[in-house]
Amino acid sequence: MFRIFVSSGSETRSNDHQTTTFPGGSSNGEAPVHHVHVAILGTGFSGLGMAIRLKQQGQEDFVVIERAADIGGTWRDNTYPGCACDIPSHLYSFSFALNPYWSRRYSPQAEIWDYLRQCAKRYGILPHIQWNSELQDASWKEDEQCWHITTSQGQLLANILILGNGALSEPSLPPIPGIERFEGVLFHSAQWKHDYDLTGKRVAVIGTGASAIQFVPHIQPQVAHLSLFLRTPPWIIPRLDHPIPDWQRTLYRMLPIAQRFVRSKIYWERELLALGFVYRTEMMQNGMQIARRHLEKQIPDPELRAKLTPKYTMGCKRVLLSDDFYPAITQPNVEVISERIREVRAHSIVTEDGREQEIDTIICATGFHVTDAPLHQHVYGRGGQSLADRWHTGQSAYLGTTISGFPNLFLLIGPNTGLGHNSMVYMIEAQLSYILDCMRTMDSRKLGTVEVRPEIQEVFDNEIQRRMQGTVWNSGCASWYLDAHGHNTTLWPGFTFEFRRRTRHFDAKHYEIITRQVSATARNAR
């Protein structure tokens, strides 16, 4: 049963994870270096889910590295007004930890964050977490068959490294000339400044993606003037959010199978959308009609409506859900500007048409470093090659999880595991099963390393890019789904149940495997 709780500092900062000491670390009198079986990065749905599943298997020898002082990832960091999920909560949650208490169809951020904190507490993960610990560098050591990890808290050795650092965790600021010289207040939507009062301010919002359409209706009544800089209008359909009545919550608490039924229903409704995204893009016409009607109903002014009408097939960029965004931007204190920004000056923004607008505050709703995360430069595989180098022509991983040249490294929400239509938690859980099955195989066959065969990864990469061809995401719009080379290396081009089927079992035939070395065997004998 879930109850709201606020963890105390001592609870969340505890650091007494079960590790043993690596003898080599203390030879010169320095503090001993911990050697754990598994190091997990991050405490969002990915890292936390991995930790829980490991613990459920009886594995205690793992540490979770987290740069922040609390768990939650996306749901800890994105605290902008109106932040909520856009996949119904009954589905956007762990299958092994249903929460009958969700207050709404699309729960607000605080509730999802609480849910994750409660999961961490309930499953005993808090003692395994190394808080305020930024992973700075991880290098595979061939002779020792383990990862050498440097964090802001010190050194660590791990047989297996699992990266759950999040695809949307590194805010990206727009490369607009002069932006660094702005003397007003500037922040990213994922780093909301709650101590800064927007009342009466002249605010510029750059970007109209999933975050902007959630916070704009909340700040619009407060600000003196809101300049909304919009480059490519999103397709927006009605949100149809609603509170979950008490009787339903009681029912889910008393009869969990009823909630499972609702969860499956939502899953299959969402999954049907993959048909339009991936296989029959003409099916998106229905959705486009719904969105056009929504726009016509909420935006009476034909000139503004024209600015807000997308000129690409629905689904090419993320489809957004909102009932209050359009009404907010028709208010007299809002101006929608589709002219490109030429430069930012100390107290103003200048657009390509030469117009200069006085601005007190810039809020960047400009997304994240999705395919170029800084961490990629600091993870070194066999022969000292970094992930960034390995991926210089585009990121890829076998089943979004393993990479040739990077033994015993697993990615959660790695390349081509993202979704435009369904719950990311479903994909994460599929990956968790795959990694656990791999670890079981390693244990039973006494393997020291596993590394996907290059030819297997290549065949997989080719398959993904071939399947990407006919999808709506490759239909000609610019979106964060595409990398600098125009390749979609972020989304899964198919049904999610196919991904789950393919990750159900670890197939050792696809991997180079090396049995444990003697020194590693001592560590692994558990």
State the minimum distance, in angstroms, from the CB of residue 170 to ligand FAD. 7
Nearer to ligand FAD, 92 or 511 (CB): 92
Nearer to ligand FAD, 78 or 227 (CB): 78
State the minimum distance, in angstroms, from the CB of residue 223 to ligand FAD. 21
State the minimum distance, in angstroms, from the CB of residue 209 to ligand FAD. 9
Nearer to ligand FAD, 75 or 182 (CB): 75
State the minimum distance, in angstroms, from the CB of residue 442 to ligand FAD. 23
Q: How far apart are CA 343 and CA 322, in angstroms?
A: 30
State the minimum distance, in angstroms, from the CB of residue 305 to ligand FAD. 27
Nearer to ligand FAD, 43 or 488 (CB): 43
**Site for ligand FAD, rule CB under 6 A:** 41-47, 65-68, 73-74, 78, 83, 85-87, 92, 134-135, 164-166, 168-169, 211, 375, 412-413, 423-424
State the minimum distance, in angstroms, from the CB of residue 368 to ligand FAD. 7
State the minimum distance, in angstroms, from the CB of residue 163 to ligand FAD. 8
Q: How far apart are CA 25 and CA 148, in angstroms?
A: 11
Nearer to ligand FAD, 66 or 483 (CB): 66
Cβ-contact 174, 366 below 8 angstroms: yes
Nearer to ligand FAD, 74 or 488 (CB): 74
State the minimum distance, in angstroms, from the CB of residue 407 to ligand FAD. 20
Please return the burial class of 195, using the count of CB atoms within 10 Å of its CB with bins 0-12, 13-18 and 19+.
Answer: exposed
What element of type H or E holds 471? none
Q: Is the dihedral of CA 459, 464, 469, 474 positive or negative?
A: negative
Q: How far apart are CA 76 and CA 168, in angstroms?
A: 12
- In this structure, the number of other CB atoms found within 10 A of the CB of residue 81 comes to 17
Q: Which two tokens stand for residue 351?
A: 């657009």
Nearer to ligand FAD, 93 or 524 (CB): 93
Nearest alpha carbon to residue 63 among 86, 89, 39? 39
Nearer to ligand FAD, 87 or 450 (CB): 87
Q: β-pairing, 135-141 with 146-151?
A: antiparallel
Nearer to ligand FAD, 442 or 482 (CB): 482
Cα radius of gyration (the chain): 24
* Helix, coil or strand: residue 168: coil
State the minimum distance, in angstroms, from the CB of residue 315 to ligand FAD. 16
State the minimum distance, in angstroms, from the CB of residue 418 to ligand FAD. 8
Taking CB atoms within 8 Å and a gap of at least 24, the contacts of 89-94 are 90/259, 90/262, 90/263, 90/266, 91/263, 91/266, 91/267, 91/270, 91/422, 91/423, 91/425, 91/426, 92/423, 92/424, 92/425, 93/425, 94/45, 94/49, 94/52, 94/119, 94/425, 94/429
State the minimum distance, in angstroms, from the CB of residue 159 to ligand FAD. 19
Nearest alpha carbon to residue 480 among 490, 472, 470, 471? 490
Q: How far apart are CA 190 and CA 80, in angstroms?
A: 7
What element of type H or E holds 151? strand 146-151
Cβ-contact 205, 290 below 8 angstroms: no
Nearer to ligand FAD, 52 or 83 (CB): 83
Cβ-contact 448, 524 below 8 angstroms: yes
Q: Which two tokens stand for residue 208?
A: 């109209």
Nearer to ligand FAD, 323 or 360 (CB): 323
